[in-house]
Structure 1
Amino acid sequence: MGASSSTEQPVSAEQRELESLAASTGALPLLQKYFSKLSDPQTSTISIQILQQCFHIRYENPVSESQQKPESFPSLLDHLGSSIVDLFFMPEKGGINWIGFLRGYVKCCGRMSTSMSLNILLRIFAMAVKKSGLSSNLEFELEDADCKISGSLLPSDLLLLLWMCWAMLWNVRTSKSSERKGKLLLPDIDHLVLPDIDHLVLPAVLSCGEVNSSFDVWDCDILSLDVQLPVGKFLSWAVSTAPTLSDCFTQFVIGRLQISVIAEDEAGPSESISGDISSKASQALLLTRGRAWAVSLGSRSTVSEEILKLCFSADIDVTDENLLYRSSSHGKGLNRFWSNVEGYHGPLLILISANSEDANQDNNKSRKWIVGALTQQGFENKDTFYGSSGDLYAISPIFHVFSPSGKEKNFVYSHLHPTGRVYEAHPKPVGIAFGGTTTNERMFMDEDFAKLIVRHHAMDKTYQHGPLIPNQGFLPVEASISEVEVWGLGGKNAKEVQNSYKKREELFTEQRRKVDLKKFANWEDSPEKMMMDMMGDPNRVQREDR
């Protein structure tokens, strides 16, 4: 191991630097443990075959939730491990020594800019594509991580790249979630669920490629699109829309090293995951695996981690705990909504599915789309905007994130009917809104959850500019709401606090229902008798005792 060899021989300056760089990522203890367990004691090296096996993943029959099913994808994954080793781990005589192992890790997973890490991801993808016998238009000038890349991607290439990132996360996260009773349960080689991510591919096509005005985002075949996406434009799109995409590879490398160490400790055959991790229960939900993953790729926060738990959860109960409100199950309307989200003090993701008529179509064809909003706190009953931060989302058919602009703080508006019968000369709108100003909200949902109004971004200075729905013009778009979902992303603590709040409210409601008759001294003084007397003879004059 590196530590033992350093006590026998003088530590070189390169080794100290590499160990410092690895320690800055927090992975040095793991690297030392992995090298110690799997290296040859005589040569103090790891063979290339062992390292390739560490990063090798295999899924023979992946299940796709979308209609896109590239037959070449299993072959691409089959060459992933060898591509990683060939690119970053240079062997010497007998294998890869401690310094070479550290050097390879720092090259692929060290601290670097987002653009450099995306370059590394593209190099791995291009190598795996080449090894699997497919063609690629990507060209790299040098072997460095920050080398210049030229060429382009096809929409089908981008779909394979995104699915490769998903498969890496799926592999390590489903493996980690299956550690039970000291035994490591490895994923079945036949079990991989590929999500529908057309909503991630299409915005890249529209942003990077040249498409004509008749391009229909609701009806297109990703695999048959012959649109060139210049790699420079793609990198710019990825940095702005999916900045954490390259983290999938880093998590995969660290996760596979951890899995290898645990498997070595067990000294026995690993078992396969039992049970169904399919998405049958979540297919009807607005927040599918693919949409949840797209939201997680747009931010680096604890919220992103909570969403990833939903993407790769094999436990349906976990999903049920996070789903606070669903209009088709709990009933439409602001009151039903409020009874399910009140008391939840944590980040919330709200998704709204609506239908609108496409004005560009002669037959006024109805189009279905999904928009969303992420709040960093629970909802409050106020007649003014509030909130400290948040994001707006175009979810489907194309995905885009609208982060805060920093100009205004009109993040959330949620107003119920006032409890008292008070006359208001200028009543405030009753409903839920995001961005804009009162009566000119960027997105407004009425109290019956029947109508959604989406306005042009010129009305909004809180969130970044851009259309929330395809072909959105300057005029407000009024659409019929078909479904609303609210997901709690505050973890177990936020849910426990809400449960305690609901129990207190139920207790107070029960106490208010009980009437203590002993509080009334006699019938003559009770308000009930006064009301009955007035109803019996309303014209009778009541003399006031002085």
Structure 2
Amino acid sequence: MGASSSTDQVSREQQEVESLAASTGALPMLQKAFFKLSDPQTKAVPLKSLKECFCLTFANPISEASPVPECFPGLLSHLGSSIVDLFFRAGEGGVNWIEFLRGYIRCCGRMSVSISLNTLYRLYAATGVPTKVEFESDDADSKISGSFTPTDVLMLLWMCWTMLSDSRNLKSSEGKAKLDLPDINHLVLSAVISCTEIGDTLNVWDFSISGLEVQLPAGKLHMWALTTAPSLTNCFTQFVHVRLQKCGTSEEDELQPSSSSAGDISSTEAHDTHILTRGRAWAISLTLRNSLSEELLKVCFPKDGDGAYENLLYRTSLHGKGLNRFWSNIEGYHGPLLMLISASSRNDHEGGGTNVGRWVIGVLTLQGFENRDMFYGSSGYLYSLSPIFHVFSHSGKEKNFVYSHLHPTSRVYEPQPKPVGIGFGGTVGNERISVDEDFAKVTVRHHAVDKTYQPGSLIPNQGFLPSEALVLEVEVWGLGGEKPKEEQSAYKNREQLFTQQRRKVDLKTFANWDDSPEKVMMDMVSAPNRVQREAR
């Protein structure tokens, strides 16, 4: 009786865990991975094999901006063993089937963003990096206390980038790849300003992360991550899922730990000459939880050379400045668009500085641009991208998302003509962001004029008065995938065909001089009073 009850209890437990794993859609993959990794005799996965499955080894990671802390390579080398020690509970022979599933659920199961972020903090602290973060208990939803330093935030974000980069390299079957760490100073600075009170004294144009001796309370950093980077946890879940998937589908010689060397970074440098650098594209993707995030990650991880540039629809240095040039490249694209504006204040050049005062803002629209004399759109986001990162989503009060108006084609008198240019938020003539017709000047107004997007400063030290700046570069990226590009291509082909048809001249019409319009006009001028019989 007792043995029967114990057997039934184990069976119900296994069924419950398998049901949770099946809800994630990963049960078949987990069965294959467990079969590959487990010992046939003990029917459990040895800890050593599981740690090797998640092992990361990179030599000399490359950083675009901030120096790589000395302890960061060690953090990566301990990452695999930390994942196993934290989330997979082993018995005498290793990790059995039930605990293997439970470990996966702890990492990739359905949970709130807040709990997922707690998982990241635990993983970061478990890698052996000195930190002042403390947890009340071992529960996934336990409260976190203590503080982070700016360097902690930098390494935590880079840890997530490394896991994401590794999972995408394995997806593309590249196996080994070098580790290029993007410039994410704007993200770290955003966390510092949001979690501390040094914003008024900090020189955002020239600062060093390692030189910031401030403490970021864990609770405030948690709130910053919830509002600014809710998709950060996907980096960890994708890493665990892809690694186990690779263990179940590939041969042993393909499961070697990822390694990296300095390598050639020419491709990285070439890509980051655009406004949409890898660091900015990743930061924007962290604010989104839909297919748009995947399109932005294609910019971060191009599969082949210039493949990432296929989504670039318009760039002033490439296609020319002005609303007409802009319109000829984006017209007919009916899909999400990301518009980036790099600008510099008019008085920035007086002191001879080249970087001081330059900033980048962005706008994400969920539909294409239309030539209208009023606001339109269904939703969107405003971004402050450099030198500080902030996101401003829809406030829910108004729907003045996009304004884009060209000169009317018909010459009709308008007593009160509508402004020509592009704007976002606010009202017509008083937009929160407005770009003039020549793409020479951009005006950023205080959030008090705008009820469409959430309040906040788009540029550093923004006052109540409108801030005008010189436009340095404008880029527009299409984020709708293949379908909008195909539709735009078909639209342009139709327009080109119509233009060619209108330009054609029917020579047969003008073969007879008596029937030509020129002869009629000359006859009228030479003898205007002559009576002519109308042809019937």
Distance of 1:296 and 1:212 partners within structure 2: 25
Distance of 1:528 and 1:321 partners within structure 2: 50
Distance of 1:397 and 1:300 partners within structure 2: 24
Distance of 1:22 and 1:219 partners within structure 2: 48
Change in Cα spacing, 1:18 to 1:214, as seen in structure 2 (3 Å) is same
Q: Which amino acid aligns with 1:407?
A: K
Contact 2:35 2:248 in 1 (8 A): no
Shift, 1:271, TM fit: 11
Match of 1:238 among 225, 228, 232: 225
Q: How many residue pairs get matched? A: 524
Q: Which amino acid aligns with 2:171?
A: K
Change in Cα spacing, 1:267 to 1:163, as seen in structure 2 (3 Å) is closer
Shift, 1:38, TM fit: 1.5
Which residues of 2 match residues 50-65 of structure 1 at below 5 A?
50-65=49-64
Shift, 1:489, TM fit: 0.6
Kindly provide the CA deviation profile for residues 38-82 of structure 1, in whole angstroms up to 9, marking residues without a partner as x.
111111100001110111111111111113322221111000000
Match of 1:295 among 284, 289, 301: 284
Distance of 1:470 and 1:352 partners within structure 2: 15
Contact 2:66 2:185 in 1 (8 A): no
1:497 correspondence with 2:487: yes
Change in Cα spacing, 1:59 to 1:465, as seen in structure 2 (3 Å) is same
| Structure 2 SS opposite 1:370 | strand
Contact 2:53 2:257 in 1 (8 A): no
Contact 2:53 2:255 in 1 (8 A): no
Which residue number corresponds to residue 379 of structure 1? 369
Change in Cα spacing, 1:532 to 1:82, as seen in structure 2 (3 Å) is farther
Which residues of 2 match residues 115-264 of structure 1 at below 5 A?
115-128=114-127, 130=128, 134-177=129-172, 179=173, 185-188=174-177, 191-211=178-198, 213-264=200-251
Kindly provide the CA deviation profile for residues 408-465 of structure 1, in whole angstroms up to 9, marking residues without a partner as x.
1111111111111111111111111111110011100011000101111111111111
TM-score where L is the length of structure 2: 0.92
Match of 1:421 among 411, 414, 427: 411
Change in Cα spacing, 1:522 to 1:15, as seen in structure 2 (3 Å) is same
Alignment RMSD: 2.5
Change in Cα spacing, 1:292 to 1:269, as seen in structure 2 (3 Å) is closer
Kindly provide the CA deviation profile for residues 458-491 of structure 1, in whole angstroms up to 9, marking residues without a partner as x.
1111111111111111100111000000001111
Shift, 1:497, TM fit: 1.4
5+ residue gaps, structure 2 = 1-6
Percent identical across equivalent pairs? 62
Shift, 1:517, TM fit: 2.2
Contact 2:359 2:387 in 1 (8 A): yes
Change in Cα spacing, 1:126 to 1:544, as seen in structure 2 (3 Å) is farther
Match of 2:274 among 285, 289, 294: 285
Change in Cα spacing, 1:388 to 1:518, as seen in structure 2 (3 Å) is same
Shift, 1:176, TM fit: 1.2
Change in Cα spacing, 1:358 to 1:242, as seen in structure 2 (3 Å) is farther
Shift, 1:520, TM fit: 4.9
Distance of 1:501 and 1:295 partners within structure 2: 29
Q: Which amino acid aligns with 2:145?
A: S
Q: Which amino acid aligns with 1:378?
A: G
Contact 1:68 1:222 in 2 (8 A): no
Shift, 1:276, TM fit: 6.0
Distance of 1:52 and 1:357 partners within structure 2: 56
1:434 correspondence with 2:400: no
Q: Which amino acid aligns with 2:285?
A: S
Distance of 1:101 and 1:451 partners within structure 2: 58
Q: Which amino acid aligns with 1:475?
A: L
Contact 2:147 2:217 in 1 (8 A): yes
Change in Cα spacing, 1:269 to 1:211, as seen in structure 2 (3 Å) is closer
1:91 correspondence with 2:78: no
Which residue number corresponds to residue 326 of structure 1? 315
Contact 2:33 2:249 in 1 (8 A): no
5+ residue gaps, structure 1 = 1-7, 180-184
Distance of 2:285 and 2:333 partners within structure 1: 21
Q: Which amino acid aligns with 1:437?
A: T
Distance of 2:219 and 2:400 partners within structure 1: 35
Q: Which amino acid aligns with 1:33?
A: K
Which residue number corresponds to residue 305 of structure 2? 316
Kindly provide the CA deviation profile for residues 200-230 of structure 1, in whole angstroms up to 9, marking residues without a partner as x.
0001100101316221111000111111000
Shift, 1:140, TM fit: 1.2
Contact 1:210 1:227 in 2 (8 A): no
- My pick for the range that moved more, 262-271 or 436-445, is 262-271
Change in Cα spacing, 1:228 to 1:271, as seen in structure 2 (3 Å) is closer
Which residue number corresponds to residue 4 of structure 2? none
| Structure 1 SS opposite 2:384 | strand
